[in-house]
Structure 1
Amino acid sequence: MQDLINNLLKKSSFDWWDVALAAVVVVVGWLASGWGRRGTRKLLERWSGMSAEMTNLLSRAVRYAILLLTIGVVLSILGAPLQPVLAAVIIVATVAVLALRGIASNFGAGIVIQARRPVRMGDTIEVDGWSGRIVELSGRTVLLHTSDGRTVRLPNTMLLQQPLVNASESGSVRSEIWVRITTPVDADTALTLVETAVAEVVPQSGRQLLLETDGPEQVDLCLRFWCTYDEREELRSASVREISSALSTQGHVGWVSSRRLGAVEWVRNSPAPPDGSPFSGDPRRA
């Protein structure tokens, strides 16, 4: 066995000193990769605010980079021609980039999201028609839990490439209640009626009641208020219920909705009365 090793060394371009130096480089490179991984993880945990998964991913990437550098140095010490090695590395890297282009782009987007923090755990967002609460941020996807119980996984690139709406960043969102009264009533009375109806439901802070239309056939009002995203549905429902009850109690006819009503109808066409009725000759009923 010793004779075989000696023969190989005689035929090769390196000697025992090169082997010893290569061994030392391997040990140092292995230790350096471990130190680099731990140092990178501690640095990211302290300063970047990234998630644990993303921190581990980047720290492992640093370790692998150091190991690859170590392998290159060892090959150089042993006299291996670097041009074929570099060519092979470039070919493998090109194939890997082309094959994993989508995954790599999502990982890159995940790093940007973790660094810039446009969203956080627990935020309610809307992206490309999907809305829900963020329950998980990973290196490749963002996991949403929708209001109807579904789970949606969005690729990280979508958050950077599509318009992103964050309903939780400011702490509150604005809701609107639209009221249309079609019985004769003056604007001040209508405003007082709606204001009194929602006094116990909607917080006064940030509440705003606007007169949108004051005409002979109808009065349109818009109630605006601010609340958290989670409270909006409940407060809208309670406001619609209280305003509708107040209108009914006062003998008024109208519509109350959390969606904007249609265009103003200043004149409502009534069906023509049948012949012989008391109003058949009244031009006002035409």
Structure 2
Amino acid sequence: MNRDFHHILAAYWEQFLFVLPKLLIALVLLAVGLFIASRLSALLGRRLHRRSADPLLADFLTQISKWVLGLIVLLVALNVLGFTGVVGSLLGAAGVSAFIVGFAFKDIAENFLAGVILAFNRPFRIDDTVQIKDLVGHVVALNLRTTLVRTFDGKHIFLPNSMVLKEPLTNYTRDGDLRMDFLLTVELEPADTPVVATTIILRYLQTVPEVQAGLRTPYVNLEKATTTTADLRVYFWGDAEDYRRGVLQLKSRLMQQVKQELVGAGFSVPALAG
């Protein structure tokens, strides 16, 4: 029994010594190949960033190139080890393998394909403010499986690409301009009319540099009026590049200043609403 066991160990040792040179060559080739693949993908990424106006697409294509080059290096290493038949079988059965892998890893494949569609369709750019369901934040990155969004309170949320593709997506900053509004209630004296209050509001808004004019000039709608009060909704356009600190702070400042302007003109403003 011991003799047979020693024979088996000796046979395995001889096979290991026979395979060892190929194994060392394959490992060296794998290490060098992965290093070169990483450098090539980085070089491709830099060129894409220089020539493309869309860093989101450039990052996504760089990630794909890194994975493709790594897979090629792995197949070459397997071929050096003598697994030519395995490599041929993998390539020859690509259709069957794709079906099996696609079924077994349905979510991964779905998120990857959704990432490809998002990268080329480009419903958002880096740093755009988007809303997906109840989540609002800045787009940080588009990865092979997830979209990274940073909320305004500093949380990093990794959303599956398939969900981002399927759910309604609101982009607040894509066009660079955003219309906001707020509602105020003005108490009227018998001699007053809503037109007087509206004129005061518009005159003040025209003096604020951050409020856009021209084709997107501010305006005021009368939503409800009684014998003593008028509900006025004020609409204005602002620069949406920085949604949280830009437009929302502008809205807050305008609400306070408009109230002061009306109070200074003799009106009473008992209520303000966003």
Fold shared, TM-score > 0.5 on shorter chain: yes
Quick one: which of 103, 106, 116 aligns to 1:101? 106
Q: With structure 2 as the length reference, what TM-score do the two structures score?
A: 0.64
**Structure 1 pair 255/104, CA: closer, same or farther in 2 (3 Å)?**
farther
201-210 or 119-128, which moves further after superposition? 201-210
Conserved? CA contact 1:198–1:242, under 8 Å: no
Cα shift readout 1:27-55 (whole Å, capped 9, x = no counterpart): xxxx9xx99x969x959965886334543
Q: Distance in 1 between matches of 2:268 and 2:195?
A: 17
> Which runs of 5 or more structure 2 residues have no equivalent in the other structure?
1-32
Task: Within 5 Å, give how 1:54-133 maps onto structure 2.
Answer: 54-58=61-65, 60-61=67-68, 64=71, 93-133=98-138
Conserved? CA contact 1:181–1:255, under 8 Å: yes
The aligned counterpart of 1:217 is: 228
* Coordinate RMSD, CA, aligned: 4.0
Quick one: which of 234, 239, 250 aligns to 1:235? 250
Deviating beyond 4 angstroms after TM superposition, the runs of 4 or more aligned structure 1 residues are: 41-49, 65-72, 82-87, 89-95
Conserved? CA contact 1:110–1:140, under 8 Å: yes
The aligned counterpart of 1:134 is: 139
Q: With structure 1 as the length reference, what TM-score do the two structures score?
A: 0.62
| Matching residue's letter, 2:139 | I
**1:92 deviation in Å?**
5.6
The aligned counterpart of 2:19 is: none
Quick one: which of 138, 141, 148 aligns to 1:143? 148
Quick one: which of 199, 208, 211 aligns to 1:203? 211
Cα shift readout 1:191-229 (whole Å, capped 9, x = no counterpart): 122224434335351332223144423222222111123
Question: Are residues 1:173 and 2:178 paired?
Answer: yes
**1:103 deviation in Å?**
1.4
Q: Distance in 2 between matches of 1:124 and 1:66?
A: 39
**Structure 1 pair 70/86, CA: closer, same or farther in 2 (3 Å)?**
farther
What is the DSSP-based 3-state SS (H/G/I as helix, E as strand, rest coil) of the residue aligned with 1:224? Answer: strand
Conserved? CA contact 1:183–1:218, under 8 Å: yes
| Matching residue's letter, 1:220 | D
**Structure 1 pair 258/233, CA: closer, same or farther in 2 (3 Å)?**
farther
**1:258 deviation in Å?**
4.5
More helix by share: 2
What is the DSSP-based 3-state SS (H/G/I as helix, E as strand, rest coil) of the residue aligned with 2:158? Answer: strand
What is the DSSP-based 3-state SS (H/G/I as helix, E as strand, rest coil) of the residue aligned with 1:254? Answer: strand
Q: Distance in 2 between matches of 1:192 and 1:85?
A: 74
What count of residue pairs does the alignment treat as equivalent? 225
Question: Are residues 1:192 and 2:202 paired?
Answer: no
Identity among equivalent pairs (%): 23
Question: Are residues 1:252 and 2:259 paired?
Answer: no
Cα shift readout 1:231-263 (whole Å, capped 9, x = no counterpart): 11111111111122223333422345352xxxx
Cα shift readout 1:73-119 (whole Å, capped 9, x = no counterpart): xx9x98x9x999967x7776554333322112111111111122221
